[in-house]
Amino acid sequence: MKKRILSLSLIFATGLLLSLSPRETKPNIIIILADDMGYSDIGSFGSEIETPNLDAMAEGGFKMTQFYNSSRCCPTRASLLTGLYPHQAGVGHMVNEREEPGYRGMLNEECVTIAEALKEGGYSTYMTGKWHLNDRKEHWPVKQGFDRYFGLLDGANSYFGNRPYRPNQKLTYALDDAPYTPGEGFYATDAYTDYALKFIEEGKEKGKPFFLYLAYTAPHWPLHALEEDIAKYRGRYMKGWDKMREERFRRMQEMGIISRAIRLSPRDENVPAWESLSEEEKRRWDEKMAVYAAMVDRMDQNIGRLRQKLKELGEDKNTIIMFLSDNGGSYEAIEGPGFTPEILEASKKPASDPTSFTAYQYEGANVSNTPFRKFKRWEHEGGISTPFIAYYPGTIQAGSISHQPAHIIDLMATSLELAGVTYPKTYKGNTIKPMEGVSMASLFNSQQWQGHEAIFFEHEGNRAVRQGDWKLVSLYPENKWALYNMKSDRSELNDLSARLPVKVKQMEKLYDAWAARANVVPFAQLVEYDRQRKQNKK
């Protein structure tokens, strides 16, 4: 009996020591961010694009169908990294530098990044991919908590090399704290993964858990893909965007991503009927959409490479991977004074030409954002909705799904809870704003999640607030509130504001209080500020 008690005591003590081991209790954390990818662009969210690795993560993990970003590159990245709304972190618009606290165009001293917080908690911290939070050297990733960095400092570039697209554009690629010049055979999506694998493998010798922020530029313009990937999709889109949207919508409903009560939004007013196009126009659009699909496909292949490396290193069971996109599909075109003459000329070439510089535009983005209205930059569902997948073997129940609203501000709180790290009240002598996000760790454990009382959005005067099943949203410059019930009308087709004016007032009051607290400046005021500053420079 004594031997049995002693044996049990040893087993208990051994188990306790193992459970307290930092390597056992602190998981590796990977956040993968796609760029300009729409809500329905991966297979597990209804797409015809082949994404077997992401689909396997969704099947073996957890999907959220109402996860939100901040509708544009820079604001989303600021929120994701800091757990604050973008204006609170200093990036309420883009990287345009202004004096207003919410629009400094760079992360301010009242926030910390996930990397900074986790580094204090004993993590190695790595980033590869797109930064786009100001290219001043004092704001490069290695100055914001990342031990190693490789990627694109700016918002966009050629996938095949360093090719400035703006007049007087500065350096864009960097390795750690030095400029980087891509060599022969470079393809950005592959290169970001190459360095991520390198950082992880080299860091394993330190015996520390790691945080990896892998921010792919795919499928942001320019549409650049490898021929072997394009060939898989060429001809697949000749059926046209109207048919593609219908097919995606049907699959989304069958998968339970979208309720049967939701209707498919009409084709966007900027998009012509497919049958009205000439055969030459149809072939040109089939090519563009095939290249776009190939970019998403290649990103998925690289996520497969990452998962394989984790398995080889014995880290696959101790790593949580979270995947999402920074905004909805992009309507943008390669046109106007923001591009060099050489780039404007390249925009006329076929998308499959590596020397081209083309974009997906309204036509392609309307498919990507099925079944929603609007695009990147707007606060309607097409601009702010992202697929979200969390994969954590042994912790997350395979095939689980949540329809609760969540937001990128939640990733900081979630990461810190999983890591057992406390969010700092001060950092480097500065007082840090309290987190806005709510940890989703309980959701990952199939437990009840408190969620948010309300979630807020603002970008370039476009505004929204989501509270429960209700969403109040406004377009700039009309500045007229529309009210939608997300449970029955997530496509935002039936405006209830005239019928429920009291509800509108209640939610408007919530928005106004948040905007005042979060350093939001009315966009018209911001435009006037920019106009006066430009005039003063003359």
By annotation, the residues acting in catalysis are 73, 132
Residue in the block written with tokens 């009560």: 261
In single-letter form, the type of residue at position 472 comes to L
Q: State the first-to-last Cα distance of the chain, in angstroms, to the nearest integer.
A: 92
CA distance readout (Å), 287 to 50, 274, 275, 300, 332? 17, 14, 17, 20, 17
Give the pairing of strands 319-325 and 28-34. Answer: parallel
Q: Where does residue 528 rank: exposed (0-12), middle (13-18), buried (19+ CB within 10 A)?
A: exposed
CA distance readout (Å), 321 to 27, 195, 309, 414? 10, 17, 13, 12
Using DSSP, state whether 163 is helix, strand or coil. Answer: coil
The C-alpha angle 322, 66, 517, rounded to 5 degrees, equals: 90
Reported as type and span, the H/E element at residue 28 is strand 28-34
φ/ψ (deg, to 5) at 396: -90, 130
CA distance readout (Å), 130 to 146, 279, 286? 14, 37, 28
Helix axes 188-203, 279-312, angle to 10 degrees: 10
Could you tell me which of 410, 30, 81, 391 has the C-alpha nearest to residue 213?
30
- Please check whether residue 149 is in contact with residue 133, taking contact to mean a CB–CB distance below 8 angstroms: no
